[in-house]
Structure 1
């Protein structure tokens, strides 16, 4: 048992600790709308820096902080901070990489009220020593006007860099150049405007080389005993060439994106457009071809040549209509079948896949009840994975027995489909790689490349899932074949046509249901059949003398659909089944690293 006294002590100490830590952490956030930076290089190497940052603060904060990187003998002096309209306390800490300047902000003179939901201008003013480099042949200022350690973008940045001599004898570079909005050179100053500086670990650098004669003394400069001018110019050329190469590569990626986006359209117009056949009527009352329902299903669905579960169900109904299977009774809850062994004894007229279907059903015969086959029992006891495996084997038998490949090739040209598949694979791979390149390489074409690549990637994913008929096309014979079946489909789905042009006999409705199932429209045909039968004065004996009429009228076929559509769906995992750097001090700095300046900051 815990001692209650110790529990009380723990609660009190935890509360005190949380109260002590609370002022340190901020729940607020910020963005930076404007930065104004002025740097004046004096003739002794001192860099006088004034930086005003406009913070747009949301929520409540304790203050803001600014990190200033230092290396070697570099240092800052005379640091002051002003916050017009707000009170502050300054806290400066030395770190392993430089100095961290914390500015605690308050609304009131007593410094008790924190700042919240406000726009605050914070101005940092200090002298930077040993930032200017003096070589044997030139002097150099390599300064980061904005550093790579901020977690906020900057909408606008205005920079004025003034040197101790005329600019016309100096040479300068702005790195990277693609975020520069404008630049202007006056007698001894470089004025630069930047916009939309991203927080992407990129230094915004200004680099100027000038005659050493601009400096009267080197007291506050870093003197380096080596020639640097040619090296710096060569480095900058190499850097610019790299940018140009990257921009050219991004442009080529963008062009490739656009080509791959347009490519499927070209493939469609070349291979996917269908032949136009004019039929004299928009319906057919008779079954147009003698093909089996499995063949009709394969040749008329959107994936021409593929066999769907509708083919299996239509074949089952066809076996009932032909007398190989008997219906004992049927309704929306169950359909009970029995193999007609008298007729099945001579099964020479049946194809292999038809025999296979009957033998599959026989596995579920109830020996204790006249060998009846209950679809409800089959649905509840069959393993969906076992059925899917069987169905796959069954479709292979259909293809072999019906010579389906030859029939498909005769009516359908799938060349465009395979070109479309290839285009989609290329689009998915290239689109993904191009999106990565857009984010990694950046530069001026980054946004167009990312947008185009996303469009390409999504388009390719859609095309990869599109049925073959969208990019492939039917031959003239195929257009006539599919067209006639569609005309027949129009008829059996439209009750007004059935009423105006009724079938020649009631018995024909059995065949209608078989082919409606193969064509995927059995439910609407069943409704039309029920409407039509309600207008007839048929005796019950006459009505049920035709096997499939009772199945349709009593909605037994709905139970069949429920059974096999359920089994043809793989259970999900949660179902009941287990299916299971800065430039080096004392030498020539790297481009983008800067000789001094940069750093980062935020709120706390």
Structure 2
């Protein structure tokens, strides 16, 4: 494919990866995906009154039958039944006053000390069984509803009424209450919190992002909460308000300043994390366009006109391996085809002798002349010599045999692995000096993209360390940094000259080699030439093999009955290199309840809704 087409492929791939990355990362780390679970809270409404009364209304949405018998909310603070009045300690606590249950269900509470009480249990004959079931299954500090069988799919509305005694901090300037309504819970699709007190002066929500509207009688907060995200309201109230609100009171100097300071840092963390995540989204979307700009600045080549098909060898001074290195794919990387073409060329030069076997399992290779000035040819001859038998002949069928036996023998596995490493080091040889004479490697230009992705990850991780509460946008930033690296990796997979360039007029030569490969790959074009010039056919076979099209020439030779062996070339009648392929691709089988603090997370309460 030509360079502009390659750039178009990179642009489309990078843009798709970027858009998909933003969507998937947002879905995973915003918590939106959790709203599709088998049990969610469709609506959560809670009202706190400054006389200590707290009411909760849950609408549980059960989506699967035979899954849940208990729908509950558990508190991270001490929970008691109001009927325990005489034995409830005088400390920060929550007292359950009543439960509103759907038809055919029973309400229950399992208090901090493990006592179980039922509400609307119906048949008194079942009460003992239900009490035992709740005692066994429920957590301490849990209230909920119970179905004697299992809840059918549908929505179930449950109401709880409590008397709440939170820690209250105060001084001469302000009063402070921090209530955590949930911390570990199933997803809440819709949340509405009403704080009913004309004494409220300021509300801080944790996490930020909730809509807060102030009214004469208090504040109303709305939003939603993904799974296990805290829902916490921290309030500053007028001085003296603490006197009339039930709770455990403590004088703390500088209540207002501490509250504002803690929440300022908390919200700053979310702001910084949000900025990093938004920057990540922008970078991800810019990368495809910046890659196109980079191509036009650093990689665009001069235009040349060359024939579509070229039957002559563009440059016979280059060895087959050099052609493979420079023009097969990437100008800085060779592959196995250069190795196979070199064997054919060494046979023609009478450096080695290739002989087919009657069983068609590999070939026999004998070194006739081990002297050569070419460094790559010396590597190839060295490999042949090192793996030849006592008769001085390398039988490549041995490679197939050792590959098969290595699957059962650990000793043969070691031999096969060593052979693979040795052969692949030759097949993937490079020559930086030669490649640099022809082209400029543009992959170094992609380092900026890798750096951008890395910096995005590092910045997000620093934010996570400094502001651990803002984990959702921080993990989103990390994910987007990975997406940028993947986008850069896609660009790296393409030839190094795409974002670099060919020197002098070597790009024209590259186009000529592509025209030659196009010619030898088209049987209709080859048929236009006679079969008399066997030397020409031999050269076609060698250089076509270097370019990965040797099988096309072999097929044409068989169809046209061309035998180049008469001119000293090796004429294969079957897949002669299969032994090398077997060993180069060998895979070893052995691999094969505290509260009352300032700031987020310090609120009294916690817990949340769930089901079992």
Q: Distance in 2 between matches of 1:438 and 1:257?
A: 19
Distance 1:352 1:200, change over 3 A: same
State the Cα distance separating 1:483 from its structure 2 match. 1.5
Matches within 5 A, 1:487-526: 487-502=515-530, 505-526=533-554
Matched, 1:410 2:437: yes
Confirm or deny that 1:323 pairs with 2:350. Answer: yes
- Of the three residues 133, 150, 174, the one matched with 2:204 is 174
CA contact (8 A) 2:207 2:230 kept: no
2:320 is matched with which residue: 279, 290, 293? 293
Per-residue CA distance 1:253-280 (angstroms, 9 max, x = gap): 555555666544433332222322112x
Query: Residues 444 and 185 of structure 1: is their aligned pair in 2 closer, same or farther, counting only changes over 3 Å?
Result: farther
The question of 1:148 aligning with 2:156 is answered: no
- Paired residue for 1:32, among 35, 38, 41? 41
Residue of structure 1 aligned with 2:571, choices 531, 536, 550? 550
What are the residue-to-residue correspondences of 1:53-72 with 2, within 5 Å? 53-57=58-62, 58-59=64-65, 60-70=67-77
C-alpha distance in 2 between matches for 1:464 and 1:304:
13
In 2: Cα distance, 1:68 partner to 1:360 partner: 73
- Identify which range, 67-76 or 310-319, moves more after superposition: 67-76
Match of 2:218 in 1: 189
Partner of 1:61, secondary structure, is coil
Q: Which runs of 5+ in 1 are unaligned?
A: 1-27, 107-111, 537-541
Q: What is the CA-CA distance between 1:408 and the residue it aligns to?
A: 2.0
Instruction: State the match for 1:12 in structure 2.
Output: none
Contact in 1 for aligned 2:69/2:149 (Cα 8 Å)? no
Superposition TM-score, scaled by structure 2 size: 0.75
In 2 relative to 1, CA 464–407 (structure 1 residues): closer, same or farther, beyond 3 Å?
closer
Q: 1:285 to 1:230 in 2, by over 3 A?
A: closer
Residue 525 of structure 1 and its aligned partner are, at CA, apart by 1.8
Correspondence for 1:474 among 502, 523, 537: 502
Q: How many residues align?
A: 523
CA deviation string 1:282-328 (max 9, x = no partner)? 12212121211111111113221323222221111112223333344
Please point out which of 364, 379, 384 is paired with 1:361.
384
Corresponding residue for 1:266? 293
Q: Per-residue CA shift, 1:472-513, capped at 9, x if unaligned?
A: 222242112211111111211111111223366133222211
| Alpha-carbon distance change, 33 to 457 in structure 1, aligned in 2, over 3 angstroms | farther
Question: Are 1:601 and 2:606 an aligned pair?
Answer: no
Distance in 1, matches of 2:183 and 2:229, equals: 4
Question: Secondary structure of 1:149's match?
Answer: coil
Q: In structure 2, which of residues 69, 94, 109 is the aligned counterpart of residue 76 of structure 1?
A: 94
| Alpha-carbon contact 1:250-1:438 (below 8 Å) kept | no
Q: Match of 1:87?
A: 105
Map 1:179-578 onto structure 2 (within 5 A).
179-180=209-210, 182-195=211-224, 197-212=225-240, 218=244, 220-227=246-253, 228-255=255-282, 263-279=290-306, 281-290=307-316, 291-330=318-357, 333-337=360-364, 339=366, 341=368, 344=369, 351-363=374-386, 365=388, 372-381=393-402, 383-391=415-423, 404-414=431-441, 416-420=442-446, 422-423=447-448, 425-427=450-452, 429-430=454-455, 432-433=457-458, 442=470, 449=477, 452-502=480-530, 505-533=533-561, 544-548=565-569, 550-551=571-572, 554-555=573-574, 558-560=575-577, 562-574=578-590
Q: Which runs of 5+ in 2 are unaligned?
A: 1-36, 79-89, 115-138, 404-414
Q: CA-to-partner distance for each residue in 1:207-234, whole Å, 9 max, x for gaps?
A: 131242x57x648343333443344344
CA contact (8 A) 2:399 2:583 kept: no
Distance in 1 separating the partners of 2:372 and 2:252: 99
- Structure with greater Cα Rg: 1
Tell me by how many angstroms 1:30 deviates: 1.9
Structure 1 length-normalised TM:
0.76
Residue 593 of structure 1 and its aligned partner are, at CA, apart by 3.5
Contact 2:207-2:600 within 8 A present in 1 as well: no
Deviating above 6 A after TM superposition, structure 1's stretches of 4 or more consecutive aligned residues are none
Q: Please give the root-mean-square deviation of Cα atoms over the aligned residues, in Å.
A: 3.6
Q: Does 1:158 align with 2:192?
A: yes
